[in-house]
Amino acid sequence: MASASARKKRRYAQTHDVYGNLAYAPRPERVPQRDGSELPRLRPKKRPKERALVRPKVRVREAGQVSLFAVAGFLAVGVFAVLLTLGSVQLTMVSNEMVSLREELSALQTEEAKLMAEYELAYDLGAIEERVTADGSMVKPQAGQIYTLDLSEEDSVVHYGQEETGETAGGILGALRELVDGCLSYFS
């Protein structure tokens, strides 16, 4: 038996073509020349066979009638597209108008603040009081002219011009009627 190293040498000494990612180009055959040198033999390149293009036979469907539902659908889509475009245009216009009105509102608010400040300066109470008291037509009240009302007691109303009914028979009947009416209104 041959040793393992001898088998390895023989195995790698043989020339094999390797296929795949690590493939070597096949060795060309050598052609001996008259002068003793060898030239590689060129192999003719193989041309791929030209195949005639054959189109498969396809049956063509004849044009049919247009469906009314398809036409109505396309028209509806077109109308909705136009309405959507018009709606977005109107929304843009209203938005621009709203922005301009807000700017106008803020300008009016600042103008209002300025005018209120001028109004308060125009009616200075101290200046008005000095002007009125200087004429003598208006005088500050004295301590005896100031009155204070006491509203801590209950309110009462007295109707003048009506006669008060005494303890007569009509008064007792009236009181009973009021009592009965009060009871009826309570239970109803």
For residue range 167-178, list pLDDT tens digits in order: 555 678 888 888
Burial class (CB in 10 A: 0-12, 13-18, 19+), 52: exposed
Contacts of 171 (CB under 8 A, 6+ apart): 165
The pLDDT, as a whole number, for residue 109 is: 96
| pLDDT, averaged across the chain | 79
The pLDDT, as a whole number, for residue 144 is: 84
Q: What is the pLDDT of residues 134-166, one digit of tens each?
A: 877 777 778 888 888 888 888 777 777 765 554
For 31, the enclosing helix (H) or strand (E) is strand 30-32
Which portions of the chain are predicted below pLDDT 50?
Answer: 166
The pLDDT, as a whole number, for residue 29 is: 62
The pLDDT, as a whole number, for residue 19 is: 52
SS3 33: coil
Furthest-apart CA atoms within the chain: distance in Å: 174
The pLDDT, as a whole number, for residue 164 is: 56
Domain residue ranges of the chain, discontinuous segments joined by + = 109-134
The pLDDT, as a whole number, for residue 40 is: 63
